[in-house]
Amino acid sequence: LKILIYLVFLLPTMPFSLQIIVDDDDSKVWSLYDAGPRSIRCPLIFLPPVSGTADVFFQQILALTGWGYRVIALQYPVYWDHLEFCDGFRKLLDHLQLDKVHLFGASLGGFLAQKFAEYTHKSPRVQSLILCNSFSDTSIFNQTWTANSFWLMPAFMLKKIVLGNFASGPLDPEMADGIDFMVDRLESLGQSELASRLTLNCQNSYVEPHKIRDIPVTIMDVFDQSALSTEAKEEMYKLYPNARRAHLKTGGNFPYLCRSAEVNLYIQIHLLQFHGTRYAAIDPSMVSAEELEVQKISLHTSNEQEEQ
């Protein structure tokens, strides 16, 4: 096993960037931002969409770490199938010495988060899931038959495929800025990165819900235009009937950029259920005694209901 780390320090107040190799293939580099108290052993990890890089979650990193949370934003290397991704992600968590984690996945990131929870269900590594504009079955994109040909396509064609799912027409300034930022991130990705992500996004696969039914889930989606169809959203609701729902009136494909305050609030609400436990993603000193007491009562009530 080869493990290679490059530390690139940014501004003193910013999280530091890591590049980590956990596979035998030196070209498979995980890029990540790790921010917040290192004493937290069950952090919140962000997985980006097809067009995203680790820094698309900068608004979550800045806000949540300011409130005492440990968060890690990832950019995954080139993997061509879900099993290969899951194996690499498990090795990354092993290297970071993280036994269990909370996962926030956007679009493809959400699907990969579900597949990883499914992959590790016999020895669980996922404590909870926040699925933003995500899906449970790749067939919704009607491109399973082309999935194996993406590696042949030049970068400009792959970018055109991705851009076709971006919102068009009149937009409010925050949404327009969010799309501009994502277009810039898309331009930074190479042909193999884009081809592999589109392959993961479209190759025939679906989530097996019985393997992850005991994991707390929050489904986050928007009521305005996004790449997900109404049918795909309804399928997610059916798959996770007990999931919390975090609906945003607007936000398009990238609410974590253009509606960050609402997204950050929903993230805190989701993580609140773990405060005062070994799976808390926040520094205990940042949680008030009153809040902990309320959480303990809530947990006790919930346990009693389950026993009944």
Where does the pLDDT of residue 19 fall: very low under 50, low under 70, confident under 90, or very high at 90 and above?
Answer: confident
Q: Could you state, in order of their start, the residue ranges of all structural domains in the chain? A: 1-307
The per-residue pLDDT for 227 is: 79
Residue 75's DSSP bridge partners are 31
| Residues sharing a CB contact under 8 Å with residue 69, sequence separation 6 or more, in sequence order | 36, 40, 43, 44, 271, 281, 282, 283
Chosen CATH of 1-307 out of 3.40.50.1820, 3.10.450.50, 3.30.420.40, 3.30.450.20: 3.40.50.1820
Place of tokens 């707390």: 216
Please name the helix (run of DSSP H) or strand (run of DSSP E) that holds residue 245, with its range, or none. Answer: strand 244-248
107-158 tens-digit pLDDT:
999 999 999 999 999 999 999 999 999 999 998 887 777 788 899 999 999 9
In DSSP notation, 182-230 reads: HHHHHHTS-HHHHHHHHHHHHSS-B--GGGSTTS-EEEEEESS--SS-H
Residue 131's DSSP bridge partners are 105, 219
For residue 202, what are its two tokens?
A: 């479209």
Residue 160's DSSP bridge partners are none
Residue of 87, 68, 88 whose CA lies nearest to 77: 88
The per-residue pLDDT for 141 is: 80
161-200 tens-digit pLDDT:
988 888 777 788 999 999 999 999 999 999 999 999 999 9
The per-residue pLDDT for 292 is: 53
**Could you tell me which residue, 302 or 204, shows the higher pLDDT?**
204
Residues in the chain: 308
Q: pTM for this structure?
A: 0.87
